[in-house]
Chains A and B, each alone.
Chain A
Amino acid sequence: MSGAGRIDAVRDVGPRRWAVAVAGALLGLVLATTHWIGFLVGGALVALPQRTVPRGIVTGTGFGVLVWGAFLATLALDGTAAGYVGMGQVFYLSVAIPVVAAFLGSLVRGLG
């Protein structure tokens, strides 16, 4: 089976699609803890198994939001979330980075 054929096989089966997406999200998350490229990679890996391009973009971007939420949760556990939210432009930038990067990554769903 060709590469495209394999992707199609994944996209056609719901449980398989979501399993791959979750695995992609975990990989992206792990990567994101060491480098921002993880948001982009995660966005792409989550988007690729989706059946349509718009779904891919929504899911990929959702990955960015989810990872940002995880980040906020770790700060909350450290007791520093309130300070983080009060950081003005730095806060907005840190929200934008995972969302925009994951969105960019999700666009690869449009490649085929």
Chain B
Amino acid sequence: MDRDLTRRALVGAVVGGGIGAGFLSPVRGYLRRFAPFAGDVWGAARRDLPGTVPSPYGEAALRYDDYGVAHVEGGNERALYFAVGYAQAADRLFQMDLQRRQMRGELSAVVGDLAVPSDRFHVAMDFAGAAEATWEGARGTETGEVVEAFVDGVNRYVEDEPLPLEFRLLGYEPDPWTGTDVMLGEKQISWGLTGSFRTLRKATVAAEIGQETAEQLYPYRMDHDAPIIRDGVGEFDAEASAAEAPPAAVDPDLLSRLSGFESPPGVGSNSWVVSGEHTESGQPILANDPHLTLMAPPVWYEMNLATDDLSVRGVTFPGVPFVIIGENHAGAWGVTNTGTDVIDFYRYDTRNGEYRYGDGWREFETESRTIAVADGEDREVTVRKTVHGPVIGAESDGDDLVGEVGVAWTGFSATKTVDAVRRMSHSDGVDSFREALRDFDLPPQNMVYADREGNTLYYVTGRHPRRYTDGEPVRGTRVFDGSEREGEWPGYTPYGESSWEGFVPFEEKPHVENPGYIGTANQRIVDDDRYPYYLAEAYGEPFRGRRLWERLDRRIGSDDPVTPGFVRDLQCDAYDKRAELFVPTILAARETIDDDLDPELDRLEAWDYRMTRDSRAALAFARFVEHYRRDVFAPRLREALDDRRDVEEYFPNDWVLLHLDDEDWFPEGRDAAIATAFEKAVEEIESNDWSVYGDYNVTAIDHPFGQSWLRYPRYPTDGSKATLNNFRKDAAVGASWRQVVPVGDGESGAVLPGGNDGDYFSDHYDDQLGLWADGEYRTFSREITGTTAVTFGGGEDS
């Protein structure tokens, strides 16, 4: 009897305890989310589009093709973009919301303390205020009305359909989408392409080590002969001078805080256009592959859109309605980043909440904002602004370092880029396309274009400030004294409408009408003695640009006309100009390298400099450069800079590294440094059991959540940071979209590094990654195809 009682008590306690734990303990959250059938997350595994959706704008249809690309037809433009908004929300809603939260400084509200530094930065910069000013300018315009239809489409999906997996895992619902959020998308990509703190780093090195070293590490121009515009612009005297500036080291706490939020290393792109004069078909061929962060899902969303008056296919950033890179009925276009300078920094004399501006004192425009933090204490941030823009700073510890700076950036103003991009989709040929570019305010891009009539065009987009100090034009290569009104931008109003009157006029931006062929790879746009205005503090390394010109020149100088096949092969070219430059130097140092490594050196000697997955020499070279960079720069920078600084943030680019032969950097001689780095590289290769480049050079494309099951599969691939086939393994940056368009003749090809659908459960989550890794393409046609998923219409106003 007692035994029975004890057993029953025990069983009762176990069962009761289990039930109690399920309802009361942290286990409750897991049960609520992951219990089969009833768990919140499983709704995401059973998302089916509803078949018909009411639309107040008229009829439209959404189809998906074999790669999950959205094909949308609309009875009118607003009906079309309502459906586009719906499709983007169905396929990428979490990505859209995450980007919006990042730019608004609202990440902590869903992910907790981890995101507070990011939120502090984004709130302090008030990107949301800039987006609001931009939306105010667009509202009521024809483009504004189309944007509103898109926003309504997004919200229709959010209101009616099950939320994607990520919302369920984090346990929150998105706020309604707004026109401001669309404009925020423009700010986000623009900041990612132009938000550089190089000026501050260079100023710091100049102050801590010397101006000469700063120039050596961060040269104003790299000495090469492969600019984008090689001739035909003219000879000019440079308008802007580089005024002497007193050295001013920037507080390491400020720089380390900022460095996580600037343009990631390696962001760049390739594009080129070849006119029909040089092609087999007699029609132009255009190619573009922007090198952006590789992530799951991809940064780009592909769509094919049609109305009676419009036919355009290409990619956009999720949350932005219009095709940014693509082709329409009349032509095709692509972009690369110019790297031109549209940001400046200012220091001020301050007192009691005021800053000096010229002869007077002004109060900082201040506003207190609250950052909500999930499972943590909310934070207060004071947003401060001057006439130039927001002020960002670190806690001052009383030293002489620059602890805060005002920031002027063209993106803080109201911009019309979204309108320009919509007009690009509607363009009827080169003239209307060029006209659309007038309002492509930001980001500055090398735009290449070709139309069916055979016209080609290269044009630099974006507003480029002309800076003035005491009425004289100056370069934006230093931290300006804002109190002395140095580096002023006439015509610029942050968080409002700018007149742009003092900026480089549209007609005088670098451009080439009807080039026979032209290639852009983020290199110098034009030699400074051929162009009057200051454009850039620095351009990208010229390795890709030189290779591009080399192959285009060789092909066009030969008897073989350019074909789409040649262009695809060129886009996936893995020849590394760094190797061509430096392998002979490594081999010349052979005597100093351990004899046991002779087989590795023999392979380098026989190598064709192609960073292909089956190459052992490519592996040795890639790892050598990493060790060599660290060995050359880290010791001296660590010694010279404040120990609070991360010296790796101050490493210059590989062009500088591989041209350096200066005893200040090589106390034991360059050959000895080469030998040490080479030996380290081989040791690393052996310890990791790598045998060829493809063992190391593997795709590593992850979801923001970090869970292994959300990651894309790993594939070996070709290419390096310096090859046209661009893949930067260490930073997860590379060709984020490859597009080759024979304009008006032949089949276009394209591929994404992943899949078009951001839904983990979709067949199209990562279905293009294998093609991408192998340098293959799929058909990219403006024909509307696929299976109908949703028909729109029958709404109250239709």
Known: A71-B37, A111-B11. A36 touches B22 (CB 8 A): yes
Q: Which of B28-36, B290-298, B466-474, B517-525 contacts A (4 or more CB under 8 A)?
A: B28-36
In chain A, residues 7-39, which have Cβ atoms closer than 8 Å to a Cβ of chain B? 32-39
Contacts of A37 in B (CB 8 A): 19, 22
Q: How far is the CB of B379 from chain A (nearest CB, A)?
A: 31
Please tell me if B224 contacts chain A, counting CB pairs below 8 Å. Answer: no
B760–A112 touching, CB < 8 Å: no
A93–B34 touching, CB < 8 Å: yes
Per the bound structure, the CA–CA distance linking A37 and B15 in Å amounts to: 12
Please tell me if A94 contacts chain B, counting CB pairs below 8 Å. Answer: yes
In chain B, residues 748-768, which have Cβ atoms closer than 8 Å to a Cβ of chain A? 760-761, 763, 765
Q: Mark B695-710, 1 if CB is under 8 A from A, else 0.
A: 0000000000001110
- The one of B15, B39, B707 that contacts A107, using a Cβ cutoff of 8 Å: B15
B36–A40 touching, CB < 8 Å: no
Q: Mark A85-112, 1 if CB is under 8 A from B, else 0.
A: 0111011011001100100110110111
- The one of A32, A83, A107, A110 that contacts B37, using a Cβ cutoff of 8 Å: A32
Contacts of A78 in B (CB 8 A): 45-46
A83–B761 touching, CB < 8 Å: yes
The count of residues in chain A whose C-beta lies closer than 8 Å to any C-beta of chain B is 36
Q: How far is the CB of B206 from chain A (nearest CB, A)?
A: 50
Known: A36-B35, A94-B34. A104 touches B14 (CB 8 A): yes
Q: How far is the CB of B36 from chain A (nearest CB, A)?
A: 4
- The one of B22, B32, B35, B760 that contacts A83, using a Cβ cutoff of 8 Å: B760
Contacts of B638 in A (CB 8 A): none
B45–A84 touching, CB < 8 Å: yes
Contact residues on B (Cβ < 8 Å of other chain), bracket: 20 to 34
Please tell me if B133 contacts chain A, counting CB pairs below 8 Å. Answer: no
Please tell me if B722 contacts chain A, counting CB pairs below 8 Å. Answer: no
**Closest Cβ neighbor of B11 among chain A residues:** A110
Q: Mark B3-27, 1 if CB is under 8 A from A, else 0.
A: 0000110011011001100100000
- The one of A35, A79, A86, A111 that contacts B38, using a Cβ cutoff of 8 Å: A35
Per the bound structure, the CA–CA distance linking A78 and B47 in Å amounts to: 9
A107–B11 touching, CB < 8 Å: yes
Q: How far is the CB of A29 from chain B (nearest CB, A)?
A: 8
Per the bound structure, the CA–CA distance linking A46 and B709 in Å amounts to: 35
Contacts of A93 in B (CB 8 A): 30, 34
Q: Mark B41-82, 1 if CB is under 8 A from A, else 0.
A: 110011000000000000000000000000000000000000
A68–B15 touching, CB < 8 Å: no
Q: Report whether over half of chain A's contact residues are helix, strand or loop; otherwise say mixed.
A: helix
- The one of A80, A97, A108, A112 that contacts B36, using a Cβ cutoff of 8 Å: A97
Known: A110-B7, A111-B8. A67 touches B763 (CB 8 A): no
B19–A40 touching, CB < 8 Å: yes
- The one of B12, B35, B760, B763 that contacts A94, using a Cβ cutoff of 8 Å: B35
Contacts of B32 in A (CB 8 A): 36
Known: A37-B22, A105-B15. A90 touches B34 (CB 8 A): yes
Per the bound structure, the CA–CA distance linking A111 and B38 in Å amounts to: 28
Per the bound structure, the CA–CA distance linking A10 and B66 in Å amounts to: 56
Contacts of A34 in B (CB 8 A): 37-38
**Closest Cβ neighbor of B18 among chain A residues:** A104
Q: How far is the CB of A41 from chain B (nearest CB, A)?
A: 10
- The one of A75, A86, A98, A104 that contacts B35, using a Cβ cutoff of 8 Å: A98
- The one of B35, B709, B760 that contacts A97, using a Cβ cutoff of 8 Å: B35
**Closest Cβ neighbor of A38 among chain B residues:** B38
B709–A112 touching, CB < 8 Å: no
B14–A67 touching, CB < 8 Å: no
Q: How far is the CB of A7 from chain B (nearest CB, A)?
A: 15
Q: How far is the CB of A40 from chain B (nearest CB, A)?
A: 7
B36–A110 touching, CB < 8 Å: no
Q: How far is the CB of B786 from chain A (nearest CB, A)?
A: 17
Known: A93-B30, A97-B35. A75 touches B11 (CB 8 A): no
Per the bound structure, the CA–CA distance linking A108 and B30 in Å amounts to: 24
Contacts of A68 in B (CB 8 A): 36
**Residue with the highest number of chain B CB atoms closer than 10 Å, among A36, A104, A105:** A36
Q: How far is the CB of B114 from chain A (nearest CB, A)?
A: 20
**Residue with the highest number of chain A CB atoms closer than 10 Å, among B12, B34, B36:** B36
Contacts of B11 in A (CB 8 A): 107-108, 110-111
Q: How far is the CB of B712 from chain A (nearest CB, A)?
A: 12
B38–A88 touching, CB < 8 Å: no
**Closest Cβ neighbor of A68 among chain B residues:** B36
B38–A110 touching, CB < 8 Å: no
Per the bound structure, the CA–CA distance linking A90 and B44 in Å amounts to: 14
**Closest Cβ neighbor of B19 among chain A residues:** A40
Q: How far is the CB of B146 from chain A (nearest CB, A)?
A: 35
B38–A32 touching, CB < 8 Å: yes
**Residue with the highest number of chain A CB atoms closer than 10 Å, among B12, B15, B30, B41:** B15
**Residue with the highest number of chain B CB atoms closer than 10 Å, among A74, A90, A98:** A90
Per the bound structure, the CA–CA distance linking A65 and B709 in Å amounts to: 24
**Closest Cβ neighbor of B708 among chain A residues:** A88
Q: How far is the CB of A28 from chain B (nearest CB, A)?
A: 11
Contacts of A108 in B (CB 8 A): 11, 15
Per the bound structure, the CA–CA distance linking A22 and B322 in Å amounts to: 57
**Closest Cβ neighbor of B39 among chain A residues:** A94
Per the bound structure, the CA–CA distance linking A93 and B11 in Å amounts to: 24
Q: How far is the CB of B469 from chain A (nearest CB, A)?
A: 58
Give me the interface of B with A, judged by CB distance under 8 Å. 7-8, 11-12, 14-15, 18-19, 22, 30-32, 34-39, 41-42, 45-46, 707-709, 760-761, 763, 765
Beyond A33-B37, A79-B763, 8 additional pairs, beta carbon < 8 A: A32-B37, A33-B38, A34-B38, A37-B19, A38-B37, A80-B46, A107-B11, A108-B15
Can you list the 10 inter-chain pairs with the closest CB atoms, starting with the nearest?
Answer: A36-B35, A71-B36, A110-B11, A104-B18, A80-B761, A80-B45, A83-B761, A33-B37, A88-B709, A36-B31
